[in-house]
Amino acid sequence: MKIIACYSNKGGVGKTASAVNLAHLMAQSGQKVLLCDLDPQGASAFYFRLKPAKKLTEDSFFTDHDKLLKAIKGSDYENLDVLPANMDFRDFDIFLSRLAKGHGALKKTLKSVKKDYDIVLLDCPPTISMLSESVFSCADKVIVPVIPSTLSERTLEQLLDFFTQHKLEKSKILAFFSMVQVSKKLHLDTMQRLGEQHADMLLSTYIPFSSHIERMGVNRAPATDFAKATPAAQHYLDLWRELVTRI
C-alpha cells in the first residue's frame, strides 16, 4: 500500500480539488483507493456527496480500528472509498501531542487498512503542525500544488526549510504548478525560474486555472468525471500518469 499526501501549507492553491480528481483517476486505473480527508472542513467528502463522519472523534480515529472502518464510506465510483472528516479533526494536534509516540500514530492507524487498499490518498489541512509532521513521516510521497505566484512560492520554500530543519526526506516532495494562467507573464516567469531551481522536485505537468474545476462544488463530483473531455481534466490525467512513474 502506498500512502500519498496532497499537502500545502498555503490554502486556496487547489489542494482538495487535486486530491479529489487524482483519487478518481487512481480508482479508474484499477487501483483500490481510500481518500482520507484530514481537513476538518471536510471538502473532499463534500465533493463526493458524503456527510461528515460524526461519530469518529480524534480519539477513535487513532485508537478504535472498528469505528474507523465503520466511518469509511463507499463513493459513487468503483474502487474509491472515502473517509470523511468532521470538525472534531481540528483537535488532532492536541491529541497527538499527548501521546508518547504521537508522530507514529497516523502511520499505525493507516496500517490497519493496508490489506484493503492499494493507495491511501491524504487530503491534508493547510498547516504545519504535529499532524503535518506525522503525515510527512508516514507518506511515501507528498504532492504539493503551487500557484506560480510570490506567496505560494514562499510557502514552498518554507516547507523545504521545514523538511531540512527536521531532517525529513525532501525526496518525498513532488510539487506541481496549479491554477496556472498562461496569459500571465508572472506565472510563466515563476514556472521557468522554479523549474530551474527545483528540477528534481517539480513535475512537468501543470493544472490550468479552469471554471470546470471551480464548478466541482456545484456538481459535487470530480471534474475528471463531469468534464472529462476538457483540458483541465486531461491535465489531471497527465499528472496522474506522471505520478505513476515517480511512486
| Domains in the chain: ranges and CATH | 2-246 (3.40.50.300)
What is the pTM assigned to this prediction?
0.94
Query: Confidence class of residue 54 from pLDDT cuts 50, 70 and 90?
Result: confident
Contacts of 240 by beta carbon, 8 Å cutoff, 6+ apart: 22, 25, 26, 29
Task: Quick: pLDDT tens for 105-120.
Answer: 888 889 889 899 999 9
The helix/strand/coil state of 174 is strand
Query: Confidence class of residue 188 from pLDDT cuts 50, 70 and 90?
Result: very high
Q: Roughly what angle, to the nearest 10 degrees, separates helices 15-28 and 231-246?
A: 70
Count of residues in the chain = 247
Does the structure show a pLDDT above 80 at 161?
yes
Distance CA 138, CA 102 (A): 12
Distance CA 81, CA 152 (A): 30
